[in-house]
Structure 1
Amino acid sequence: MSSRTSTRAAIPGRALTRVTVLGGGDDARMYAALALAENREVTLFSAYGQELDDLRSAGSVTLRGEGPIGSFHVNQPSGPSIRTTAALDQAVAGAELILLTGPLHKQRTYAMVLADHLRDGQVLVLPNARSLGAVEVAWLLQTGGCAADVTIVECGGAPYWIQRDRSALILSACGPVPAATLPQGRSDVLSGLKPLFPNASAELSCVHSGFDDASAAVELPALLIGGPAAPGGAPLVQQGGVPLAENATFRTLIGAAHQAVIARLWEERVAVAADFGVRGLEDAAAATQRVAGNLRGAGARQVPDSSEAKELLRAGVIGSLIPLVSAAELTGRNVPMTRAMIDLAMTVLERDLRGAGRNLNSIGVTATDVSAARRQFDAILNGGLHG
């Protein structure tokens, strides 16, 4: 990330008509279809031949549910369609907007390989960025030698939750998610993203959106805690009755015991955020609603399967909880519930994730106390160099 971004004028508002999606999973397919629905020129890149073969053989991406509905063509010789490619340089060269999709480790990989391919004026978007995702990407670009004046946008979620039904993607609208730009203040870029992220709620900076990351504080208790001592919030079923499929939502995983744990985790995050000058965060109940969705019907989030749940645990530890612990260490503040949740998740996953975590010093924030860290963040947020 070039330090000259701190003195350049904000990028003029534009429609961001040429969109490249990096990744071939369900989320990447959704973003490609959403962009095509908005009459954008869309390219989807994947390094995995099977993902591209599946897309090409299907011939389209089908969306159902609460978002745009229809089948969006792939690689058609005429008319609007999603163009697929395995060549990263070609995918990125003409793009105005680049979305980095997939799990956190894939977003990191994309950031590392993009350094040689970016040019001035391009916009990189990190959906589900967790905490300080934009700062990490800027650090990876900087260490890779990128000198282009790009804007990185981190979003604390997606526009829709996705459930696959055979070949179709069923969408359920997410609530508001925090979003911010790096360098800070490029609100015109966020405005340009509104057609794809209508639920993006602009934050002052990526530090603010990072501390406003409620994902792991809600998801980990919901996924890790259960049983008779900590029942969920699903409606009671009379003896002999059958639970309704529409009641099997993420929100029903959360009962009173889960809410108590979430409140403690959120209390610790809010306290550390205040030490870094971030105040006015919503309460735990609102944070829970944002992440867990509605109990049923429109805006309900589906329960993930085992593989998806484990990926949420990994991402939550690496991208949300470890950054908070790292920030808390600079303030001298104790965060016992956050540390306990990290240990519990790593025990369930049977993996030590501390080395892979988004520690501040691993993303170029080298300060040893909170005052110095705040000054360093100020420099980074205004387009300065890390370290």
Structure 2
Amino acid sequence: MKIAILGGGHGAYAAAADLSEAGHEVRLWRRDAAALHPVFRAGAITLKDAAGVREVPLALATADIAAALEGARLVVIPTPAIAQYDIALAMAPHLVDGQVVFLPPGTFGSYVMARLVKQSGNLADVAWAETGTLPYLARKHGEREVNVTVRAIRLPTGVYPARKSAETIAVIREAFPSVRACGDALSGALMNAGPVIHPPLMVMNAAPLQHFERWDIHNEGTQPAVRAVTDQLDRERIAVREAFGQGAPHYPLADHYENDRWMYGDAHKQLVKSGDWRENIDLHTHRYITEDTELGLAFLASAARYAGVDAPIAHGLLAIVGGFLGRDLRQGPRTFESLGLAALSKAELAQRLHHGE
């Protein structure tokens, strides 16, 4: 299958190498041509995982998004949600009928990006989908080298518009067999693990993050008090899913820490053992704040408000982060209110998610 990978981060390089090695025709697009040049020059990415180290050639590495998208059946965008606006506008002139765009994860980006593309004047019949996490726990170790610690074994995925779910899931499964349909885009967004894992870790590790040059929030930073808050926040997420009529499995985050039933299986120990997450994290600029808190947690809290679910942990964490950022995160760009969804009835919302806008 012809696949376009859009992005230049850990997930994009992991996806490009992994899917190319699996036999797909992969085109990797990155807007920063200079940063992409090592991959362009070599024509390959160095992939490291439990099987060893090897060179994986790509069909194309390009800074021309039109060239990457041309003829692609599947478009994979494993980028932070903060990049989705610019990418949507860049890809809008080039999308055509029948393409599937997959956001792992999306932070409700499937709805947001589809809307932006339509507002730009492109009315192509494109399907959008999003899942709850990246298909890989991965970190780049060099200009064109990526280390994959764990691959996801379960990827609950929602589709927008949901009426296209069956054929969309079938296409994505050709690349990611671990994908499992979980309903519409809202269901997919409420599977997003980042806004549940990362805000408590950031808030409750704020002092050591600012004191130490490098700190592993998943190792020393994950203590019983942090886990207790994370578990309660996840219960709020599940309560919101249930309020929208979304059924199990909800992929409770406790499974990530305690057993092998979560999206990555028994991954937490491997994540800590790798050492790749001992890093410098800036409390104002890291994606755990800009993506998972300002967008993702704000979205979850707004969904709770809409559904009438009491979510004190979500709103409390938002208030604390808003305190050190100096702004009210309830007014962020990815909330039910900002997206114009708060004025819809539940029936109207369900109809929009199923049929499209």
Give me the whole-angstrom Cα distance separating, in 1, the residues matched to 2:269 and 2:301: 34
Give me the whole-angstrom Cα distance separating, in 2, the residues matched to 1:177 and 1:330: 26
- Asked if 1:139 is matched to 2:115, the reply is yes
Contact 1:32 1:82 in 2 (8 A): no
Specify which of 249, 257, 266 is matched with residue 234 of structure 2: 266
Q: Deviations over 1:109-159 (max 9, x none)?
A: 1113323221110011111213x2212222222222221111111021122
Contact 1:365 1:376 in 2 (8 A): no
Aligned length: 340
Partner residue of 1:243? Answer: none
Give the aligned residue type for 2:316. A
Specify which of 348, 351, 355 is matched with residue 376 of structure 1: 348
Residue 129 and residue 260 in structure 1: after superposition, are their counterparts in 2 closer, same or farther (change >3 A)? same
Q: For residue 261 of structure 1, report the CA deviation from its aligned partner.
A: 0.4
Partner residue of 2:178? Answer: 199
**1:334-345, aligned counterparts within 5 Å?**
334-345=310-321
- Asked if 1:303 is matched to 2:277, the reply is yes
Give me the whole-angstrom Cα distance separating, in 1, the residues matched to 2:91 and 2:126: 11
Give me the whole-angstrom Cα distance separating, in 1, the residues matched to 2:217 and 2:174: 27
Residue 202 and residue 65 in structure 1: after superposition, are their counterparts in 2 closer, same or farther (change >3 A)? same
Partner residue of 2:255? Answer: 286
Give me the whole-angstrom Cα distance separating, in 1, the residues matched to 2:102 and 2:126: 11
Give the aligned residue type for 2:155. V
Q: For residue 29 of structure 1, report the CA deviation from its aligned partner.
A: 1.9
Could you say what secondary structure the match of 1:62 adopts? Answer: strand
Residue 67 and residue 344 in structure 1: after superposition, are their counterparts in 2 closer, same or farther (change >3 A)? farther
Give me the whole-angstrom Cα distance separating, in 1, the residues matched to 2:206 and 2:54: 41
- Asked if 1:45 is matched to 2:29, the reply is yes
Could you say what secondary structure the match of 1:250 adopts? Answer: coil
Give me the whole-angstrom Cα distance separating, in 1, the residues matched to 2:51 and 2:130: 21
Partner residue of 1:90? Answer: 67
| TM-score normalized by the length of structure 1 | 0.77
Partner residue of 1:106? Answer: 83
Q: Deviations over 1:154-205 (max 9, x none)?
A: 0211221112334531102244232122222523432332353343232122
Gap regions ≥5 residues in structure 1? 1-16, 74-80, 229-247
Larger radius of gyration: 1
Give the aligned residue type for 1:319. L
Moved more, 192-201 or 264-273: 192-201
Contact 1:252 1:295 in 2 (8 A): no
Partner residue of 2:200? Answer: 221
Q: For residue 287 of structure 1, report the CA deviation from its aligned partner.
A: 5.7
Moved more, 268-277 or 345-354: 345-354
- Asked if 1:62 is matched to 2:39, the reply is no
Contact 1:20 1:42 in 2 (8 A): yes
**1:158-237, aligned counterparts within 5 Å?**
158-166=134-142, 168-175=145-152, 176-184=154-162, 185-226=164-205
Moved more, 82-91 or 345-354: 345-354
Q: For residue 55 of structure 1, report the CA deviation from its aligned partner.
A: 2.0
Taking only aligned residues, the RMSD between alpha carbons, in angstroms, comes to: 3.1
Give me the whole-angstrom Cα distance separating, in 2, the residues matched to 1:291 and 1:225: 25
Give the aligned residue type for 2:254. A
Partner residue of 1:255? Answer: 223
Partner residue of 2:211? Answer: none
Give me the whole-angstrom Cα distance separating, in 2, the residues matched to 1:355 and 1:195: 39
Give me the whole-angstrom Cα distance separating, in 1, the residues matched to 2:174 and 2:220: 30
Contact 2:331 2:338 in 1 (8 A): no
Residue 142 and residue 299 in structure 1: after superposition, are their counterparts in 2 closer, same or farther (change >3 A)? farther
Could you say what secondary structure the match of 1:147 adopts? Answer: coil
- Asked if 1:25 is matched to 2:9, the reply is yes
Give me the whole-angstrom Cα distance separating, in 2, the residues matched to 1:84 and 1:347: 42
Give me the whole-angstrom Cα distance separating, in 2, the residues matched to 1:69 and 1:193: 26
Partner residue of 1:125? Answer: 102
Residue 361 and residue 300 in structure 1: after superposition, are their counterparts in 2 closer, same or farther (change >3 A)? farther
Give the aligned residue type for 1:192. V
Give me the whole-angstrom Cα distance separating, in 1, the residues matched to 2:102 and 2:253: 27
Could you say what secondary structure the match of 1:203 adopts? Answer: strand
Partner residue of 1:238? Answer: none
Could you say what secondary structure the match of 1:357 adopts? Answer: coil
Give the aligned residue type for 2:116. L
Percent identity reads 24
Q: Deviations over 1:10-45 (max 9, x none)?
A: xxxxxxx11111122332222221221122222222
Contact 2:203 2:317 in 1 (8 A): no
Give me the whole-angstrom Cα distance separating, in 2, the residues matched to 1:104 and 1:98: 16
